Structure 1
Amino acid sequence: MPTIKRLDRPPLLHVSVQESLKAYIDEAQLKPGAALPPEGELAQRLGVSRNSVREAIKALESVGIIETRRGIGVFVRDFSFDPLLDHLPYGLGRELRDVGDVLQIRCTLEFGLIADCVTAIGEADLAALRLTLDAMRAKAERGEAFPEEDQQFHRLLFRCLGNRVLDRLIEIFWVAFHKASGFFSLGNPDPIATWRDHEEIYDAVVARDAVRARDRLERHYRGIRSVLAR
């Protein structure tokens, strides 16, 4: 006897409104700063309640697509990874597999681009890296962790490529990994060794030796994995 296929649950109304608003922004080719129609007009044109429009607007605000300017209206936002940066670490939780996945993505990005970095990096970025390494060493010699300098080192290393999306992705996966793993709260058993890892990466980049730079970068990440394993 033929079976009747169960219908999928229809999306919530405010979710459908979100999709309609995103399609409208897309099709109208609205640029950042462009105003959307007033809430009441949107409700009328979509044939829904103002509450549904309001919920949809809040949801789109939370992911950085639009912004509400109190007393003025609703406007298209410039694209930003910030909402993803804010929410990703919490979505990952503290499962070891998820943390490992984030670390793997971060490694893949950096391993794949270090050769381009070695070719492109200029004196200004090398000087900034040197200052960051000196700050790392000062803290390491006091037995202190240096998460801000660590993040700055990796940001400066790839800044020369001029790829804004890459810069944000590296930052996202750096922050996501450290928040999800609580890596620095574990206590670095050997901050001097961590500083030396970065120093050796820097030396290889200064020497324009892409093979050695990748090898030192890989060794650095092996050290991170061993700390997590412990």
Structure 2
Amino acid sequence: MARRNGETVQDRIVALIHDRQLQPGAPMPTEPQLMDLLGASRNSVREAVRALQALGIVEIRHGFGTFVGRASLDVLGPSLEFRIRSGPQSVRALQDLVEVREMLETALVGRVAGSTSESRLAALDALVTAMQTDLEADRAFHGLLYESCGNELVLQLITLFWQVYHQVEPLLGAPEERMDVIVANHRRIVDALRARDAVAAQEAMQRHFRDVKERIARAEAGQVATPLGGEAA
């Protein structure tokens, strides 16, 4: 395999996957084969494979070998969470994430407003009811909303942003929203979809995120006066 200028062993393994058109789940060449193909040392190959495993590009199944991974966006979760938690403007960084999620979901909910089936509406109704006692129902609700788009990247992004938000949500302090208000916001979304009203669906989604952003604004105001984790002077 020809070596291109500036390429690392990691880059060349990825190029090998593409050159051979290996699909997710396909077996990778063995470690000795990679050493021979790439002209690289055992340690270099092992380090590159470990780095690619962390990115989800390869999957190591102990006792079976190394396989092409699915590169799920879940691997970005720890980096996004670290970015929000580590900076001095952590609440602002969380607001940025919520704004991206709002733009994405507001556009998408308008897109599916005219095509949501009765069976999916019934499932969304059930998830809204379940939100009273089950936080996971909220995640499932936002994922189910956009299944009909047929866009796997969209579904992964929605799940990723939801998970990261709820991981760092304690930065905002105790929630002030009552659960019945949260449930009502989601119910409005379903009602708009049932009416096949794209504008109302988008307005309901924006209202849902407006409540979230107001909570972030309150936390940011408190952060300016008192550093997160600190005590009032």
Structure-2 residue corresponding to 1:204: 192
Structure 1 runs of 4+ off > 3 angstroms? 85-88
Matches of 1:39 and 1:75, distance apart in 2: 12
Q: Deviations over 1:174-210 (max 9, x none)?
A: 1122223337862243222111111112211111111
Candidates 76, 80, 89, aligned match of 1:88: 80
The correspondence of residues 53-68 of structure 1 with structure 2, limited to 5 A, is: 53-68=45-60
User: C-alpha separation between the residues in 2 aligned to 1:153 and 1:45?
Assistant: 47
Deviations 1:56-113 (A, max 9, x none): 1111011111122323322212342232345432343261222111111110111111
Kindly report which structure 2 residues correspond to 1:208-219, keeping only aligned pairs within 5 A, or say none. Answer: 208-219=196-207
Q: Deviations over 1:39-70 (max 9, x none)?
A: 12322443332111111111101111112232
Confirm whether residue 38 of structure 1 aligns to residue 30 of structure 2.
yes
1:101-131 alpha-carbon deviations (Å, 9 max, x no partner): 1111110111111122111100111001111
Contact 1:38 1:74 in 2 (8 A): yes
> How many residue pairs end up in the alignment?
211
CA distance in 2, matches of 1:127, 1:218: 22
**1:160 counterpart residue number:** 148
State how far apart, in whole Å, the 2-side matches of 1:184 and 1:98 are: 12
- Is contact 1:120-1:161 (8 Å) kept? no
* CA pair 183-214 structure 1, distance change in 2 beyond 3 A: farther
Classify the secondary structure of the residue corresponding to 2:112. helix
For structure 1, which runs of at least 5 residues remain unmatched after alignment?
A: 1-10, 140-145
Percent identity between the two aligned chains: 37
Match of 2:113 among 100, 114, 118: 118
Task: Measure the CA separation in 1 of the matches of 2:103 and 2:36.
Answer: 49
Match for residue 158 of structure 2? 170
* Distance change >3 Å, CA 158–CA 44, structure 1 → 2: closer
